[in-house]
Amino acid sequence: AMEETYLLNVEGVKKKILHGGQGELPKFQDGSKITFHFQTLKDNFERTVIDDSREAGIPMEIIVGKMFKMEIWETLLSSMRAGEVAEFWCDAIHTGMYALVSKGMRRIAEGRDPLEGQKHRCGMGNMFDYHSTGYDDLDELQRTPQPLIFIMELFRVEEPSAYKRDTWAMSKEEKLAAVPVLHSEGNRLVLRKEFRQAAAKYQEAVICLRNLQAKEKPWEDGWLKLESLVTPLVLNYCQCQLELGEYYEVLEHTTELLQKHKDNAKAYFKRAKAHAAVWNEREAREDFLRVADLDPAMAAAVKKELKQLGERMRKKHVEDRKRYQGLFHSHQLGTGQ
C-alpha cells in the first residue's frame, strides 16, 4: 500500500516502506543500541540474497557511533520507526565496505574470530588489495562494486542508559559519562523504595569507575578524583543493602572503604547499623561513638541509635533468658523427674 519511494537526504539512496512502523522517529545518539533484522540482495533480476539475519535467528545489534564500518546503515536505520520494514536501494558509492562487513558478521555467526587472518599493513594498501574474503560471493562484490538492496526491519532503539552496556564496549569518556546517569537513576529508584534495582545501578557505576581506576597509579591525582566519585556510590549501595537486610554485605563493603578512608563518618554509621542488626553490640557501639567523634553534626542521630540499640539488646536478653528457662524446664519434664 505504502510503496512510494523516498529519497533520503543522501545521494544514491532510495527508500520504499513495506510496512509502516509506530510512534515517533526514535532518537539516535552516540551509544544508542539499534536492534534489527536485515536482508541484503543484489540489484539483479533474481534479487539474489547475499545475507539474511533471520537465518541466524538472532537480530543484529549495532551501537551508534561505534565506528561500525557500514556507516550507510546508520543513515538508513535512522529514517525508520519501531516496527517498520523498509527496502533501501543503495548505489555503489555506499556499498564498497559491504563485503568486509559481511565477512565479519558471517565469521561471528560461524563462531570464528571476525578479524582472524587479516593482513595488517600500513596505509591504504589493504583497501586496494583484493585478497580473498574466504567467500566467493563476497569476493565478487569486492571485485565489482555495485548497488545493493537492504531490506530492514527495525525492532527498537535503546538510549545509552536504557540497556546494560557491556562495560568493555565503552570508551573512557562513555564510562565517565555513564556514572552520573547511573547515580541519578539509582537515587530515583531509592525514592520509589526499589532498593534492589537501585543497588544494581550504583554497583554498575562503581564498576565503571573501578575499570578507569585500574589504568591510573594508586593515590595519584587521577586515581583520587575517581575514588572521590566511588565513595558516595559505595555508601548509597550500602544504604540499599541495609534496607534489604543484607547486613554482612554492608559490613564487608564499609570495612573495605574504611581501610582506605579512615575518617569517613558515614561509612562508620552504616557499618554500626549493620553491626547492630546482627547483634554485634560492642562493635556497633564503637562505630557509633566514632561517628559522633568525627562528625558532631551526627551526634544527635548517634544518640538516638545508641538508645535504640540498648533497648533492643535488653529485649533480646530477656527473650534469651526466657528461652533458656523454657529449654531447661522442658528438659526436666522430659526426664520425668
Q: Which of 10-14, 91-95, 104-108 has the lowest mean pLDDT?
A: 104-108
The cell numbers describing 138, all together, are 563476497
Q: In one letter, which amino acid is 101?
A: V
Please report the pLDDT score of residue 239 as a whole number. Answer: 96
Task: List the end-to-end C-alpha distance of the chain, in Å, as a whole number.
Answer: 95
pLDDT band at 165 (very low <50, low <70, confident <90, very high): low
pLDDT band at 176 (very low <50, low <70, confident <90, very high): confident
pLDDT at 1 over 70: no
**Residue range 165-176: mean pLDDT, rounded:** 71
**Residue range 279-297: mean pLDDT, rounded:** 96
Q: Where are the extended beta strands (E) located within the chain?
A: 5-7, 13-19, 33-42, 49-52, 60-63, 85-90, 148-158
Length of the chain: 337
Question: What is the DSSP track for 129-166?
Answer: -----S-HHHHHHHHS---EEEEEEEEEEE-TTTS---
Of 127, 133, 129, 151, nearest to 42 by C-alpha is: 151
- CA 78 to CA 72: how far, in whole Å? 10
- CA 93 to CA 128: how far, in whole Å? 15
pLDDT tens for 316-337 read 999 988 888 877 776 666 554 4
- CA 231 to CA 215: how far, in whole Å? 18
**Residue range 133-145: mean pLDDT, rounded:** 89
Please report the pLDDT score of residue 167 as a whole number. Answer: 57
Please report the pLDDT score of residue 332 as a whole number. Answer: 64
The better pLDDT of the pair 115, 300 is held by 300
Percent of the chain past pLDDT 90, that is, above it, reads: 51
Q: In one letter, which amino acid is 265?
A: A
On whether the CB atoms of residues 15 and 80 are closer than 8 A, the answer is no
Max CA separation in the chain (angstroms):
103
Please report the pLDDT score of residue 290 as a whole number. Answer: 97
pLDDT at 37 over 90: yes
Looking up cell 591504504, which residue turns up? 124
Rounded to 5°, the CA angle 308-309-315 comes to 90
Exposed e or buried b per residue across 14-30, where buried means at least 16 C-beta atoms within 10 angstroms of its C-beta: bbbbeeebeeeebebee
pLDDT band at 68 (very low <50, low <70, confident <90, very high): low
The rounded mean pLDDT for the chain is: 85
Please list, in sequence order, all residues whose beta carbon lies within 8 angstroms of the beta carbon of residue 280, skipping any fewer than 6 positions away.
none
- For 148, list phi and psi in degrees, rounded to 5: -130, 160
pLDDT band at 126 (very low <50, low <70, confident <90, very high): very low
pLDDT band at 300 (very low <50, low <70, confident <90, very high): very high
Q: How many CB atoms lie within 10 A of CB 89?
A: 17
- State whether residue 7 is helix, strand or coil: strand
- CA 9 to CA 79: how far, in whole Å? 10
pLDDT at 50 over 70: yes
